Chains A and B, each alone.
Chain A
Amino acid sequence: MLLSINNLHASINGKEILKGIRLKVDKGEVHAIMGPNGTGKSTLASVIAGRDVFEVTSGDIFYKGKNLQKLPVEERAREGIFLGFQYPVEIPGVSITNFMRTAVNSLRKYKGLDPLSGGEFIRMMEEKKKLVEITSDLTNRSVNEGFSGGEKKKNEIFQMAMLDPTLAILDETDSGLDIDALRIVANGVNKLRTKENAFLVITHYQRLLDYIVPDFVHVLFEGRIVKSGGKELAVELEERGYDWIKNEREG
């Protein structure tokens, strides 16, 4: 099992957000996490990535058989966990080129590989940019600075392609995208799917799942996964809305 989350409880500033998550993800699988706003979807993504503002109060996360609890953010990333941010951060003065070169070479060092030469790195960048149809000038700009919503999300997928993760968590990558950008982003993801990696796609809407077809769909509600099923569950949610789940819970 690639990722195994057991009875995970997490809180921020003393407020419990995740109240006993159980989830298993294996290689080659795409899992969609759906649910209304404010139920803990982004928190789950952040906790897996190791963001320290959240406190894990009980339960655990195993990834490649390792307990993640003690692993800092960068170690998790080097072990192959990638988080596509819902709101990618603008970092003025850091060019995407320097940022990615530092990141790629950090990963390579961790794996005991030599750093890429300038030429090799440029070739790699050119190749991965095509995947998300990025026009050339994007890469010489500061990270996300002045990017449109669509550019930011494309840039996330571009980074994912550069880092070639084993587990990619995409946190509402579809939010703020028009249909063309959505198609480009989804195509990028589909091209990166292999038997060796897995995706956790967090989304509010079913729309993205028309393009990235999941193997499993989970509904997160009030900090717990309350329903799991196949891709048809997403369609049902789209038709019936989340109230149906709420009513089922309360009833």
Chain B
Amino acid sequence: MRDLIKEAISKERMIDLFSSSRDIIFSEDSPVISTMREKAIESFTRIGFPTQKMEEWKNTDLKDSFSRVYDYHLKPQSEFVDFLKVFQCNIPHLDTAILGLLNGWYISKDVPLMELGNGIIMGSLSEARKRYPQLVEKHYGKYADDTGTGLTALNTAFARDGIFIYVPENVRSPKPIQMINVIHSDQNLFLQSRNLIILGRNSHLSFVHCDDSYNHQSSFSNIVSEIHLDENASLDHYKLQNLNNSSTLISSVYFQLEKDASIESHYLSLNGGVLRNNINLVFNGPHGSANIYGLYLMDRKQHIDNHVFVDHIYPECSSSELFKGIIDENANGVFNGHVLVRRDAQKTTAYQSNKNILLTDTAKVNSKPFLEIYADDVKCGHGSTTGQLDPESMFYLRQRGIGEESAKMLLMFAFADQVVSKIAITPLRNRIEDMVKKRLQGELQICEQCVLHCSTPEQPVDFRIDMSKI
């Protein structure tokens, strides 16, 4: 079978693999999807993989990630387990509908696509392409940037599965939908999954997207998600990242918001080797609103790069970004925020803020908020601060008898909490608060890194600081 590569990733190797595995890659395609693949591989051939010579990748080095040897399965493996038996969500009182991906493939059990009574459809993208070609093809590949972004083009060329969610007009999802994207293998893995989420007019969805890994093997994930919000739809979006230190995750999310649509998006990155979040948001109608929050806690040699691009095309939309990071040891943080306000986007409000705390001399941050404005009646601003914990605050806390370590923890937690407190789902917020505390105290174990129940039972944690609300 040619459904597997076992060597370092290179542009040439990927192009070869594409042409030698057409029978597998194209096997379930409609003509529309096939054409898209052909165009995408052309784009990829032209652009290739990112290198640090590209402005957008100046501060993120993927050489090491590319040099490792990975398995890449073009077909799902047969030995799939019953996902929900192995992994149980470990957030007390969080009631969600769970969609599971294992190594990039939807775990179907017997139902690859669920059609709920209220009209919501959710499950495998591969199945949705077959059953709802018109619905899928109306949106698929329409928002992702295949022509300018090599990794996105590569994903479009190869991707065969992922998550599909459709919320019809006027429907509010009664509970959050949680997507759990687990990497678990005894081999190094390369994977490219693709997600499509469609929100009809006046609909609402809470969507929790977890990226987790369950062992110490290397992985390279190139994941593309397209999320479309029709008029007056609203989305509460959570992206939770807890991967091991040898994982590379390139997550590219393309949001398109029609008139009056609104989103709240939360990027919570607690662990990972190399994490790159490409967050692209287009206001394709007036009166849209987007609040994007990010929190990243990095240590050792971890690397996080948040690239946020917001395109204001129509008037009277508002966007705000708040990204906060705590960088320890030899870790690296990158923030690149680009807000484009086009000529007709009058009365835009846009704000970007990036704040970082560096805990060591070797921790590093590159922060670049950037406003590009062509309209004249707008309210825009940006700010970026990077520094140590405030010595005045430290002295104040310690003068009240609080030990140095606890005082640091209290300040770091407070810093993080300005993002965590924005989480609207209470059980999720409580769990994340808890995880942030553990993470800051170095007590977040690899086997219980994520919101899922791991094979080892959770150890009771003795917090030196009692933050519990009383």
Give the distance to chain A from B322, nearest Cβ to Cβ, in Å.
13
Known contacts being A93-B417, A159-B400, is A99 close to B393, with CB within 8 Å?
Answer: no
The residues in B between 388 and 409 inclusive whose CB is less than 8 angstroms from any CB of A are 390-393, 395-404, 406-407
* Interface residue from A91, A122, A163 paired with B396 (Cβ < 8 Å): A91
Chain B contacts for A93, CB-based, 8 A: 413-415, 417-418
Alpha-carbon gap, A78 to B406, bound state (A): 14
Q: Could you say which of A69-77, A130-138, A227-235 contacts chain B?
A: A69-77
Interface residue A10 (Cβ < 8 Å from any Cβ of B): no
Interface residue A246 (Cβ < 8 Å from any Cβ of B): no
- Is A102's CB under 8 angstroms from B398's CB? no
* Interface residue from A51, A94, A118 paired with B411 (Cβ < 8 Å): A94
Alpha-carbon gap, A122 to B469, bound state (A): 11
Interface residue A83 (Cβ < 8 Å from any Cβ of B): yes
Chain A 67-89, CB within 8 Å of chain B: the 1/0 string? 00000111001100011010011
Size class of the B contact interface (CB-based, 8 Å):
20 to 34
Give the distance to chain A from B431, nearest Cβ to Cβ, in Å.
19
Give the distance to chain B from A107, nearest Cβ to Cβ, in Å.
5
- Is A89's CB under 8 angstroms from B392's CB? yes
Alpha-carbon gap, A122 to B468, bound state (A): 13
Interface residue B79 (Cβ < 8 Å from any Cβ of A): no
Interface residue A38 (Cβ < 8 Å from any Cβ of B): no
Chain A 107-119, CB within 8 Å of chain B: the 1/0 string? 1001000010010
- Is B400's CB under 8 angstroms from A51's CB? no
- Of listed A49, A53, A73, residue having the most chain B CB within 10 A: A73
Interface size on A, residues (CB 8 A): 37
Alpha-carbon gap, A103 to B464, bound state (A): 12
Chain A contacts for B86, CB-based, 8 A: none
Chain A 31-61, CB within 8 Å of chain B: the 1/0 string? 0000000000000000001110100000000
Alpha-carbon gap, A186 to B148, bound state (A): 68
Interface residue A148 (Cβ < 8 Å from any Cβ of B): no
Interface residue A6 (Cβ < 8 Å from any Cβ of B): no
Chain A contacts for B401, CB-based, 8 A: 74, 77-78, 103, 106-107, 110, 163
Chain B contacts for A72, CB-based, 8 A: 398, 404
Give the distance to chain A from B168, nearest Cβ to Cβ, in Å.
40
Chain A contacts for B54, CB-based, 8 A: none
Interface residue A197 (Cβ < 8 Å from any Cβ of B): no
- Is B466's CB under 8 angstroms from A94's CB? no
Chain A residue with the shortest CB-CB distance to B464: A102
Chain A residue with the shortest CB-CB distance to B418: A93
Known contacts being A97-B470, A101-B466, is A73 close to B398, with CB within 8 Å?
Answer: yes
Chain A residue with the shortest CB-CB distance to B409: A102
- Is A102's CB under 8 angstroms from B465's CB? yes
Alpha-carbon gap, A89 to B391, bound state (A): 10
Chain B 376-397, CB within 8 Å of chain A: the 1/0 string? 0000000000000011110111
Chain B residue with the shortest CB-CB distance to A98: B467
- Is A103's CB under 8 angstroms from B400's CB? yes
- Is B400's CB under 8 angstroms from A94's CB? no
Chain B contacts for A110, CB-based, 8 A: 401
Chain B residue with the shortest CB-CB distance to A143: B396
Known contacts being A97-B470, A98-B467, is A89 close to B396, with CB within 8 Å?
Answer: yes
Alpha-carbon gap, A81 to B470, bound state (A): 27
Chain B contacts for A97, CB-based, 8 A: 470
Known contacts being A72-B404, A91-B393, A121-B470, is A99 close to B399, with CB within 8 Å?
Answer: no
- Is A49's CB under 8 angstroms from B466's CB? no
Chain A residue with the shortest CB-CB distance to B417: A93
- Of listed B396, B401, B465, B467, residue having the most chain A CB within 10 A: B401
Alpha-carbon gap, A229 to B391, bound state (A): 37
- Is A74's CB under 8 angstroms from B418's CB? no
Interface residue A92 (Cβ < 8 Å from any Cβ of B): yes
Chain B residue with the shortest CB-CB distance to A140: B469
Give the distance to chain B from A134, nearest Cβ to Cβ, in Å.
17
Chain A contacts for B399, CB-based, 8 A: 49-50, 73-74, 77, 82-83
Chain B residue with the shortest CB-CB distance to A108: B401
Give the distance to chain A from B241, nearest Cβ to Cβ, in Å.
22
Interface residue B167 (Cβ < 8 Å from any Cβ of A): no
- Is B404's CB under 8 angstroms from A99's CB? no
Known contacts being A73-B398, A77-B398, A99-B410, is A106 close to B403, with CB within 8 Å?
Answer: yes
Chain B contacts for A206, CB-based, 8 A: none
Interface residue A175 (Cβ < 8 Å from any Cβ of B): no
Interface residue A105 (Cβ < 8 Å from any Cβ of B): yes
Known contacts being A97-B470, A98-B467, A101-B470, is A74 close to B396, with CB within 8 Å?
Answer: no
Chain B residue with the shortest CB-CB distance to A93: B414
Give the distance to chain B from A125, nearest Cβ to Cβ, in Å.
10
Alpha-carbon gap, A171 to B61, bound state (A): 52
Chain B contacts for A73, CB-based, 8 A: 395, 398-399
Alpha-carbon gap, A49 to B293, bound state (A): 39
Alpha-carbon gap, A103 to B399, bound state (A): 9
Known contacts being A89-B393, A89-B396, A98-B467, is A103 close to B414, with CB within 8 Å?
Answer: no
- Is A74's CB under 8 angstroms from B470's CB? no
Chain A contacts for B410, CB-based, 8 A: 94, 98-99, 102
Given pairs A72-B398, A74-B398, A106-B406, 20 additional interface contacts (CB within 8 A): A49-B399, A51-B395, A73-B395, A74-B399, A74-B407, A77-B400, A82-B399, A83-B399, A85-B396, A91-B393, A92-B414, A92-B418, A93-B414, A98-B466, A99-B410, A100-B400, A102-B406, A102-B465, A103-B401, A142-B414
Taking Cβ atoms with an 8 Å cutoff, the residues of B that contact A are 390-393, 395-404, 406-407, 410-411, 413-415, 417-418, 465-468, 470
A-B interface, 10 closest residue pairs, ranked by CB to CB distance from nearest: A93-B414, A77-B401, A103-B400, A73-B398, A118-B470, A89-B396, A94-B414, A74-B398, A106-B401, A78-B401
What are 29 A-B pairs with beta-carbon distances under 8 A?
A49-B399, A53-B391, A72-B398, A73-B395, A74-B399, A74-B402, A74-B403, A74-B404, A77-B401, A82-B399, A89-B390, A89-B392, A89-B395, A91-B396, A91-B411, A91-B414, A93-B413, A93-B417, A98-B410, A98-B465, A99-B397, A99-B400, A102-B402, A103-B401, A106-B402, A107-B401, A110-B401, A118-B470, A163-B400
Taking Cβ atoms with an 8 Å cutoff, the residues of A that contact B are 49-51, 53, 72-74, 77-78, 82-83, 85, 88-89, 91-94, 97-103, 105-107, 110, 115, 118, 121-122, 142-143, 159, 163
